[in-house]
Amino acid sequence: MRVLISTIPFGQKDSTPLSLLEDVGAEVVINPLERKFTEEDLLRLLPDFDVLIAGTEPITRKVLKAAKRLKFISRVGIGLDSVDLEAARDHSVLVSYTPDAPAPAVAELTVGLMIDLLRAVQVSNHRMHNGIWHRYFGRRLTEVTIGLVGVGRIGSRVIRHLSGFECQKILVNDIDPNINLPTHPSCDVEMVNKETLFQNSDVISLHVPLTGKTRNLIGAKEFQMMKADALVVNTARGGIVNEADLYDALEAGRIAGAAIDVFDKEPYSGRLENLDQCLLTAHMGSMSVDCRSRMEREATEEAIRFISDVKLLSPVPDSEYLNQTRFGVG
């Protein structure tokens, strides 16, 4: 079978996935463009392949209709907003993913970004490189109220990490109001509505998938609800925070700062680059060596199961198909 690996980097820190594919006789092509594929790229390249080991490129209905040979997509990661699941099912294309592998790295980066913003680390670094010595006052995690939108695999890990910093108050909101909240003796975790969370949190961190319902979840209206010294962290998906409204809120001083790891269009280029109070990282939440290697390995092993006609371990569950049907593709 012919396998196209679109996600990059791949096999850079651990070549095991490539060796496994070679062992089953797969003909493998790694992203020849060395950048994120566009829909047009996929329309041109994908029709010649049976299996796609995918990143976050747009696997649309149009792409799936054109890819006559394609029978299996193995997503390296958890997000499914880039895959039209209904169209995949209509064209008899199976889809799997690696939902647990990225969580440890994303959760750790999230807490790191919170600390960076609270202590003005990136601002101080920039000033120091420009010959300016200034000692910034900051806040500790134990002093502030954290608001988490989404308490699934990553959000629950963030709560666990925050408890180690003796964080006193964590407000949470989730699409499932009956979700079992993590409990820790050192911190008070409370389920609230989004309005209460936005109004009372010092740091707001997003951990929800991108769907039609969550696109522009944070925009001008929500920024108006927040404290003037509020900080926003997004390590979930681009499009959840309206980037134009974020720029306006930061520029006008309606909120104090933001840390953004994910963008509506990647690679990112835009006005947020001009704001010192906006920390930008290049979609690197999952990019610890261990988590990235695990993602690649699990996605490859799933592809090999498909090639070998063995039962898949991580097929996308029906609930994800239902979510896209109810709320739309992000």
Active site residue: 75, 283, 292, 305, which one? Answer: 283
pLDDT given at position 86:
97
Q: Catalytic annotation on 266?
A: yes
Exposure of 229 in the CB half-sphere (CA atoms within 13 A): 9
Query: What is the enclosing helix (H) or strand (E) of 156?
Result: helix 153-164
Q: Domains in the chain, start-ordered, CATH in brackets?
A: 2-101+288-327 (3.40.50.720), 103-280 (3.40.50.720)
C-alpha neighbours within 13 Å on the C-beta side of residue 139:
16
Token look-up 């502030």 returns: 144
Kindly write down the DSSP assignment for every residue of 110-155, as one continuous string.
Answer: HHHHHHHHHTTHHHHHHHHHTT---------GGGSEEEEE--SHHH
Distance separating alpha carbons of residues 319 and 289, to the nearest angstrom? 30
Residue 205, pLDDT > 90, answer: yes
Provide the pLDDT confidence category of residue 182 given band limits of 50, 70 and 90.
confident
Q: What pTM was computed for the model?
A: 0.95
pLDDT reading at 175 higher than 90: no
Q: Band of the pLDDT at 195, cuts 50, 70, 90? A: very high
Residue 30: pLDDT band with limits 50, 70, 90: very high
> In terms of DSSP H, where are the helices of 172-287?
194-200, 220-225, 243-251
pLDDT tens figures, 293-325: 999 999 999 999 999 999 999 999 999 999 898
Q: Is 75 a catalytic residue?
A: no
Q: Is the confidence at residue 9, as pLDDT, over 90? A: yes
Say if residues 191 and 100 touch (Cβ distance below 8 Å).
no
User: Is the CB of residue 55 less than 8 Å from the CB of residue 36?
Assistant: yes
From the list 237, 292, 294, 305, the catalytic residue is 237
275, two tokens: 């704001």
| Residue of higher predicted confidence among 186 and 280 | 280
* Average pLDDT rounded to a whole number, residues 216-235: 98
Per-residue pLDDT band at 91 (split at 50, 70, 90): very high
pLDDT interval class at 55 (50, 70, 90) = very high
pLDDT at 272 over 80: yes
* Catalytic residue, candidates 27, 40, 166, 266: 266
For residue 36, pLDDT beyond 90:
yes
Distance CA 226, CA 255 (A): 7
Cα separation, 187 vs 176, in Å, equals 21
Q: What is the pLDDT of residue 330?
A: 72
Q: pLDDT category, 186, cuts 50, 70, 90?
A: confident
Residue 164 pLDDT > 80: yes
- For residue 257, the cross-strand partners are 231
* Cα–Cα distance measured from residue 257 to residue 250, given in angstroms and rounded to the nearest whole number: 6
195 as an active site residue: the answer is no
* Arithmetic mean of pLDDT, 196-218: 97
Q: What span, in angstroms and rounded, lies between the C-alpha atoms of 96 and 321? A: 12
